[in-house]
Structure 1
Amino acid sequence: MAVQSSSIASFDTVYSADSTEFCPFPEHAQYLAVGTYQLTDEQQENVRIREGKTYLFDVTKPLVPKQVIETPAVLDMKWSHAPINDKHCLGIVDSVGGFHLYGFNEENHLTVVDHMQATDNTSVLCLSLDWASRLDKSDKRIVTSHSNGDINILSPGDSGGYVIKDQWHAHDLEAWISAFDYWNTNIVYSGADDGLFKGWDARQQTPTFTYKGHMMGVTTMQSNPHKEHQLATGSYDETIYFWDTRSMRQPVSTLQTPGGGIWRLKWHPTRTNRLLSASMHAGAFVVDIDDQCEARIATSFLDHTSMTYGADWSFSEPDLVASCSFYDHIMHLWKAFTPN
């Protein structure tokens, strides 16, 4: 039976909160970034303007923001697992197709390292990003997915900033998610509102497989950084799918969660068989997987009162989680249950 966790601390982000990301570097592992999204009443070219703020917290201190960065609405963000220009960097994608790169300065504030358009059309939302550098620290590329169904690969350019290296149309509806296979970064995965889960060889932009078994839109996926060939995907259909990437005809196993739809999945920083799910209306869950890939919910966190969109693990404090929810605009810190 799952243990129910309670909030250790919380913060009202005012704008709707949709992303939480702990810095993976030991020197900055106490820092947590929280991204927000606000649809305003202002319009530009008959489109309502979306605004965002990114908060930076030191979680070893009371939850008072160390820094607040204003951008267009934040759809997703991830820390690079390799330094960029000798800085520990956070990548952010936004509601006008922009990619922002922020790095720590000597005062441990985030300053702009780069900003570019991940798509030339500012009416297209950039919905997700993933770094290739989780295992291969020399690979500084980024994959982004977009509301028009496109997938883009961003690479460092000759002048130092990021440029669009590759771009292709992957889905006919919103591509909610894209991710690298961390063990073979030539392979990219994507999922969309069309319910399709696809694999791609990024060198040819050709699909290596198309899976149609998710019952609703595919919203999240992550390659297991500890275990080669293991991948988890999630969907509005409230199910987590576990895959062996050597055979993508069907999942190895599935876990039906307690409802809500799944928005983000994150493998634990050090535990091979532990997964975190931001499960929208249902809350957040910690899932443990045994050697036969049978999964069970170990910890439930049910303090969010609206859709839980963001969740992430601390890289320094075992089983500390930050999760955030949208309409109640709250970020919570809590602990996962650790079995004896």
Structure 2
Amino acid sequence: MQTARHAKLDTRLGADSVALLGAAETEGQVTRQRAVVGTYSLRNDKGDAPYRDGGLLVVSATREGDVCSLSMEQEVHDIPGVLDVAAQTSPGILYAACANDSFLAFGDIDGEGRFLHSLQKVREVEDPNRILLSVDVCEDPGSDDAFVASSDSAGGISVYRAVKHGWEPVIQRDTHTQEAWSVHIDVSREAMYSGGDDGALVCYDWNTDIECFRLRKAHGGVGVTAVTKNMFESREEGEFHLWSGGYDDVLRFWDIRFTKQCVSEVAVGGGVWRIRFHPKKKDLMLVATMYDGFKVVRRDCSDHLEVLCHYQGHDSMAYGATWVPALDRGDQHVALTGSFYDHSLQLWTFDDNP
């Protein structure tokens, strides 16, 4: 399967997280999709204690005919290092998990995509020694509210209900004994899933206050760095499905009713940092594999997992990743990915036509 790079931007600081913002816009032959990039840099030039500078960038990914391009729209700097971002579509709110235990929200106050003009704090800094490592948001289908979850460097997990007047805490608990690298929230089951450097993959029901399961060696005892469900599957298809990745370089597919062993797995190399499902091709995954670029993985009808392609356009650690389905054309799928030490954002295509 072929890949091709179409555009590249310098993000100035390390690009560690990428998420789409709002719906795509089409005018004539031009389709445009906004995305946000979270960045940070670890620095030591302000005294003895290291600190993390951060930034948020809003970029436009555009397709006109066969040409795909990237352009910068907005930038905000001088905030704590951004470790992860997630976007709520209605209303338009961007959440950023930051260093120094700060959790920020940016609102699209005028509906024009200017997310970075309206900053609010989900919570003030609680523990400056904690770093927020991941964030996830899931809209409540039964209301206009949403649930937002974050995980931190001390193993803590927090869930908030986002309502019109602010954010109401639902739960805050220390779930892992080491860094909680990833969190995923499932409103339909009132459950959250998390993975930590202690090697555990955990499911917690916040309604009953019960830990549903704890797989202590889900990835052979090494850190679990990515946990997610495929939210593009129907409730009937994906209710019991869960995906995880770890420092063992393996992507695993689980049935949460039978957790003694995974349903299937595939070695992807490099360590799995993020797993992103294609909204229209629900069995196609974009996987950020840290030390070994980005991979596209497919799950077939018998649950077999296969690595279809390897994108090697980045020169350092592969972190941020998202599909850009509005720019797809036929069997050509568009991805937007970020890497750290070379502070690079790249727009590239994967041709799913053997």
On whether the aligned pair clears a TM of 0.5, the verdict is: yes
Instruction: Give structure 1 stretches of 5+ with no counterpart.
Output: none
CA distance in 1, matches of 2:279, 2:125: 31
Which stretch of structure 1 is more off in the superposition, 48-57 or 24-33? 24-33
**CA contact 1:100–1:112 (8 Å) conserved in 2:** no
Aligned counterparts, 1:145-164, within 5 A = 145-156=151-162, 160-164=165-169
CA distance in 2, matches of 1:138, 1:198: 28
Aligned to 1:339: 353
After TM superposition, give the deviation of residue 43 of structure 1 in Å.
4.0
Aligned to 2:204: 200
After TM superposition, give the deviation of residue 89 of structure 1 in Å.
1.7
User: Does the alignment pair 1:68 with 2:75?
Assistant: yes
Aligned counterparts, 1:83-98, within 5 A = 83-84=90-91, 88-98=92-102
Aligned to 2:314: 304
Q: Give CA deviations for 1:223-266 in whole Å, capped at 9, x if unaligned.
A: 11114222211111100000123322321000111x21110001
After TM superposition, give the deviation of residue 49 of structure 1 in Å.
1.8
What letter matches 1:283 in structure 2?
Answer: G
Aligned to 2:87: 79
Q: Give CA deviations for 1:261-317 in whole Å, capped at 9, x if unaligned.
A: 110001111112111100011100111111111011112101111110111111422
**CA contact 2:246–2:273 (8 Å) conserved in 1:** yes
After TM superposition, give the deviation of residue 130 of structure 1 in Å.
0.8
What letter matches 1:224 in structure 2?
Answer: N
Cα 1:183–1:26 change in 2 (3 A) is: farther
User: Does the alignment pair 1:209 with 2:216?
Assistant: no
Cα 1:224–1:118 change in 2 (3 A) is: farther
How many residue pairs align between the two structures? 330
**CA contact 1:118–1:152 (8 Å) conserved in 2:** no
Cα 1:65–1:118 change in 2 (3 A) is: same
Aligned counterparts, 1:282-301, within 5 A = 282-301=292-311
Which stretch of structure 1 is more off in the superposition, 27-36 or 317-326? 27-36
Partner residue of 1:121 out of 116, 124, 127: 127
User: Does the alignment pair 1:329 with 2:334?
Assistant: no
Which stretch of structure 1 is more off in the superposition, 70-79 or 174-183? 174-183
What letter matches 1:64 in structure 2?
Answer: S
User: Does the alignment pair 1:12 with 2:10?
Assistant: yes
What letter matches 1:114 in structure 2?
Answer: Q
TM-score (norm 2): 0.87
SS at match of 2:327: coil
User: Does the alignment pair 1:255 with 2:261?
Assistant: no
**CA contact 1:320–1:334 (8 Å) conserved in 2:** yes
CA distance in 2, matches of 1:176, 1:9: 30
State the identity as a percent: 29
TM-score (norm 1): 0.90
After TM superposition, give the deviation of residue 213 of structure 1 in Å.
2.9
Which stretch of structure 1 is more off in the superposition, 288-297 or 16-25? 16-25
CA distance in 2, matches of 1:20, 1:52: 14
User: Does the alignment pair 1:238 with 2:236?
Assistant: no
Aligned to 1:57: 59
User: Does the alignment pair 1:41 with 2:44?
Assistant: yes
CA distance in 1, matches of 2:162, 2:114: 23
After TM superposition, give the deviation of residue 122 of structure 1 in Å.
2.0
SS at match of 1:63: strand
After TM superposition, give the deviation of residue 99 of structure 1 in Å.
1.5
Structure with the higher fraction of residues in strand conformation: 2
Aligned counterparts, 1:168-207, within 5 A = 168-181=173-186, 183-184=188-189, 186-207=190-211
Cα 1:183–1:290 change in 2 (3 A) is: farther
After TM superposition, give the deviation of residue 338 of structure 1 in Å.
1.9
Cα 1:107–1:183 change in 2 (3 A) is: closer
**CA contact 1:298–1:337 (8 Å) conserved in 2:** no
